[in-house]
C-alpha cells in the first residue's frame, strides 16, 4: 500500500463519522443538497490566526493572500481576523469590495496588470505592488489622468530564493518583480513624480516546511530592504516580507516549527538596521491560514475491480481538486490526506484507489492506499482543501461545473 498524507490534527468523529466544525459530514452534505462539497471551518481559521499572532512579533502585521481561497464568506470571516489583504487581479479586487473590505487594507501584486485593473485599483485607493518599470509608467500616467495620487509599492525580485520552497518566486530571471539592482532608481522616479510610495514587497517563495530556510530568507529580505533603502535614499513606510509558510500535504511531511520562525524574526527586528527604524513589517500568508481548514467531500458512485485492483469512483475529482490529483505543480504524484468520511473511525481493511468521474487517467484522488471497506454512497474526504482547491481547479472541464462551498 502507498501511504497517505497526514490528516491535520484536531479532526474528530461523531458516531464513527468525520465531523467538521462539530457537525457530521453527512449532515453538511444533506444541508448543502449535493456533493461534491467544500467545507471550511471558521474555528480552524480563527485558531490558526491566533496561533500566528502568538508566535510572531506583535509589531508584525498579517495579510491574507486572497488567491488561496476567495470564497466570499471566507473573506468576510477574514476581515475581522487579519490586518490586510493581498490580491492578484481586478476580479479579486471586486471580490474584496463585495465583501465590504476597505480598499485601504488591500495591496495588488501580479504581473500583467491591465490598464483597467490599474485604474480601478488607483481609484479605490489600493496599494499597487509594481512588477516592472513599464507598469510603473502606466500607473503614473493613469493616476495623472485621473488626478489621483497613487499608492505605489515596488515588488522586488530578490537575488535569492526560499530554499526548499514548493514554488520559487525570486532569484534569477523571473516574471515577478523588478530586479533588485534596478529598484533604487525606480523608487527615486516614483518619489520625484509625487506618488505615495508605500515601500517594498519581497516574496522569495512559497510552501516551505523548513523553519531554518524561512528564517534565513527573512534575514536576507530584511538585509535587502536595508540595502535598497540606503541606495534609494528613502525609508520605506512598509516592507512585505512575503510568506512561504507551508502545510503538510504528503507522507513524511512535518509541520513548520512556527515558534522557531517567530522567535528568530523577533530577534532580527530587535537588531534592525537604523535605516529601517521607521518601517513597518508584514507577513503575507494564504495557504497557511486556510489550507488545513478545508475538507472536500465527494460521494462514491461506483465500486469496481479491475485486474484485482479496487477502484472507488466518486462524483468529484481533479476538476475541483487539481492539486490532490497531482496535477498542480507536483513532479512525482504522492497521496494527499484522504479518508472515508462515512467510516472515519474504522480500521483499514483493503487497498483501493479513489478516482474521480472524468474521462482521464489523471483523475485520481488516492492511489493504492489503505482504507476501510467502502461502498457506493459512502463519502470520501480530501483534507488540506481550504486553499487552491475550488478556485484553482478546472471546474468546467467536461462540463462538470463547480462544487458547492460552505463555511461552518
Domain ranges of the chain: 12-40+292-407, 109-285
114-172 confidence digits (pLDDT tens): 999 999 999 999 999 999 999 999 999 999 999 999 999 999 999 876 655 555 455 56
Percent of the chain exceeding pLDDT 90 equals 92
- The DSSP string of 299-342 is EEEEEEEETTEEEEEES--TTT-TTTTT-SS-SS--PPPEEEGG
Domain boundaries 12-40+292-407, corresponding CATH code: 2.40.37.10
Question: Strand, coil or helix: what is 156?
Answer: strand
What are the beta bridge partners of residue 206? 167
Q: Which of 39, 37, 48 is nearest to 10 (CA)?
A: 48
Q: What is the pLDDT of residues 46-85, one digit of tens each?
A: 999 999 999 999 999 999 999 999 999 999 999 999 999 9
H-helix or E-strand spanning residue 292: none
CATH 3.20.20.10 assigned to 109-285: yes
- DSSP states of 84-138: EEEE-SHHHHHHHHHTT--GGGEEE--S---HHHHHHHHHHTPEEEE-SHHHHHH
Query: Which region holds residue 276: left if phi is over 0, alpha if psi is between -120 and 50, else beta?
Result: alpha
Instruction: Report the mean per-residue pLDDT for the chain.
Output: 95
Among candidates 238, 226, 110, 223, which has minimal Cα distance to 160? 223
pTM of the model: 0.95
Amino acid at each position: 500500500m502507498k501511504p497517505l498524507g497526514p490528516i491535520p490534527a484536531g479532526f474528530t468523529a461523531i458516531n464513527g463519522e468525520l465531523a467538521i466544525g462539530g457537525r457530521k459530514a453527512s449532515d453538511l452534505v444533506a444541508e448543502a443538497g449535493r456533493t461534491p462539497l467544500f467545507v471550511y471551518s471558521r474555528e480552524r481559521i480563527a485558531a490558526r490566526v491566533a496561533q500566528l499572532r502568538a508566535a510572531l512579533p506583535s509589531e508584525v502585521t498579517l495579510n491574507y493572500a486572497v488567491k488561496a481561497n476567495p470564497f466570499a464568506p471566507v473573506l468576510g470571516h477574514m476581515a475581522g481576523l487579519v490586518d490586510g489583504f493581498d490580491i492578484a487581479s481586478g476580479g479579486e479586487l471586486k471580490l474584496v469590495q463585495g465583501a465590504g473590505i476597505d480598499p485601504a487594507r488591500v495591496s495588488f501584486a501580479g504581473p500583467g496588470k491591465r490598464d483597467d485593473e490599474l485604474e480601478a485599483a488607483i481609484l479605490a485607493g489600493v496599494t499597487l505592488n509594481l512588477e516592472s518599470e513599464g507598469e510603473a509608467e502606466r500607473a503614473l500616467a493613469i493616476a495623472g489622468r485621473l488626478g489621483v495620487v497613487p499608492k505605489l509599492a515596488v515588488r522586488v525580485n530578490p537575488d535569492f530564493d526560499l530554499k526548499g520552497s514548493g514554488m520559487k518566486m525570486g532569484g534569477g530571471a523571473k516574471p515577478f518583480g523588478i530586479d533588485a539592482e534596478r529598484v533604487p532608481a525606480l523608487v527615486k522616479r516614483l518619489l520625484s513624480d509625487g506618488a505615495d510610495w508605500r515601500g517594498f514587497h519581497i516574496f522569495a517563495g512559497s510552501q516551505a516546511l523548513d523553519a531554518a530556510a524561512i528564517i534565513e530568507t527573512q534575514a536576507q529580505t530584511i538585509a535587502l530592504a536595508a540595502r535598497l533603502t540606503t541606495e534609494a535614499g528613502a525609508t520605506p513606510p512598509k516592507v512585505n516580507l512575503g510568506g512561504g509558510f507551508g502545510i503538510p500535504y504528503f507522507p513524511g511531511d512535518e509541520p513548520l516549527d512556527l515558534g522557531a520562525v517567530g522567535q528568530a524574526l523577533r530577534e532580527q527586528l530587535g537588531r534592525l538596521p537604523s535605516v529601517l527604524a521607521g518601517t513597518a513589517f508584514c507577513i503575507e500568508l494564504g495557504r497557511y491560514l486556510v489550507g488545513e481548514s478545508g475538507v472536500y467531500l465527494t460521494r462514491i458512485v461506483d465500486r469496481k475491480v479491475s485486474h484485482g485492483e479496487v477502484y472507488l469512483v466518486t462524483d468529484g475529482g481533479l476538476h475541483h481538486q487539481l492539486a490532490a490529483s497531482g496535477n498542480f505543480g507536483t513532479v512525482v504524484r504522492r497521496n494527499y490526506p484522504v479518508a472515508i468520511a462515512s467510516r472515519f473511525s474504522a480500521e483499514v481493511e483493503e487497498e483501493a484507489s479513489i478516482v474521480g468521474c472524468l474521462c482521464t487517467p489523471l483523475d485520481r484522488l488516492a492511489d493504492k492506499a489503505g482504507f476501510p471497506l467502502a461502498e457506493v454512497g459512502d463519502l470520501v474526504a480530501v483534507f488540506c482543501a481550504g486553499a487552491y482547491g475550488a478556485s484553482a481547479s478546472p471546474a468546467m472541464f467536461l462540463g462538470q461545473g463547480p462544487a458547492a462551498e460552505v463555511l461552518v
